[in-house]
Structure 1
């Protein structure tokens, strides 16, 4: 094995696939929750993060592209997948059953390839029906629970959160700003992220 190949084997590559929130749209610091989580995650191993967002993406489109895009970033070391579906399905007429199936297909395909997965649920938006958003988040949670995949519920804790709603009011209801991304970061870091990576959590 070459020195380069040996170095790559020791790396952990994490692909994050989802909608525009994965890109941190609306964050003046340009970090979003992905950058903040990366900055707050300490590991003796090299962790490489590859955000792969598509604005307003449905789970149908996400399930069709994740493997091809992630394959270009995955390497001979340990590969992991974070799935962060938004609520675009509700605005594009995707049925709840299809949304469940799309996420299930991604998780099952990743499992078949022995790629550990972690799912961040869709956070609230004020331009989309609230009851439907809650139902979608519950459905995604159930899909993950049945497969033993960590799921971070974001809708319930943020639906009535004053700062989150203030951020949405400034953006037309579609995305958070700096404070909102900080809230998403906190939810990720305090709902199984370090356990999923198998590393200790900082105090």
Structure 2
């Protein structure tokens, strides 16, 4: 059972901030609404639209350090987007960027949880599938929970319909609801040391 204040820093791109959600909750807000912590839980979303893992790797440590507390249970949620593909980053570079983030988090004794990139209309499907698998492998090697957003959503009718109804990049309420469901059912509560009341 978890004891003490939970302080979650969520780093990522505009999907972490819920861009395109008319309810302004995104998947982060929906997940937190379904997370019952016995003590206070503070969620700090530090998002930069269109950010690559290279840019994320260069900024996250300083931004997160300002928001942690020695009295709190400080944790890191790494919400990865699709920008590495558009920027032409190699898989090896993307892997290394995530590995560096997770290794620093471990040195800082901040348990990490990684959420992979979801499908999007503008990203090459094969490239995105490979990127998601690469991120998953990096997390697995470090025994960090990884939520594969790509595989279950790539052919999901509701997800694709939600994207098509918008700009093809950002989901709406239904899409963010699907993302939240995947997070909640991929070890979220166990990672936080909380009972799972979603089952």
The TM tier, using the shorter chain, reads: over 0.9
The Cα of 1:73 is off from its aligned counterpart by 1.1
Extract structure 1 runs of 4+ deviating beyond 2 A: none
Partner of 2:53: 59
Cα RMSD of the aligned pairs, angstroms, is 1.0
Residues 1:95 and 2:80 are matched in the alignment:
no
The Cα of 1:168 is off from its aligned counterpart by 1.0
Partner of 1:79: 74
The Cα of 1:153 is off from its aligned counterpart by 0.4
Corresponding residue SS for 2:96: helix
Partner of 2:101: 106
Give the whole-Å Cα distance in 2 for the aligned partners of 1:95 and 1:173.
24
- Runs of 5+ in structure 2 lacking a partner? none
Superposed CA deviations along residues 22-75 of structure 1, whole A, max 9, x for unmatched, are: 110111100000001110000101111001111010000001111111111111
Partner of 2:154: 159
The Cα of 1:90 is off from its aligned counterpart by 0.2
TM-score when scaled to structure 2? 0.96
Corresponding residue SS for 1:23: coil
- Runs of 5+ in structure 1 lacking a partner? 1-8
Partner of 1:194: 189
Give the whole-Å Cα distance in 2 for the aligned partners of 1:78 and 1:44.
13
Structure exhibiting the larger radius of gyration computed from Cα positions: 1
Give the whole-Å Cα distance in 1 for the aligned partners of 2:4 and 2:88.
43
Give the whole-Å Cα distance in 1 for the aligned partners of 2:108 and 2:66.
15
Partner of 1:121: 116
Relative to its length, the structure with more helix (as a share) is: 1
Superposed CA deviations along residues 131-179 of structure 1, whole A, max 9, x for unmatched, are: 0000000000000000000000000000000111011112221110000
Partner of 1:3: none
Give the whole-Å Cα distance in 1 for the aligned partners of 2:10 and 2:114.
9
TM-score when scaled to structure 1? 0.94
Count of residues in correspondence between the two structures: 195
Which residue of the other structure, out of 159, 166, 175, is the alignment partner of 1:171? 166
| Mapping 1:143-158, distance limit 5 Å | 143-158=138-153
Residues 1:25 and 2:53 are matched in the alignment:
no
Residues 1:41 and 2:26 are matched in the alignment:
no
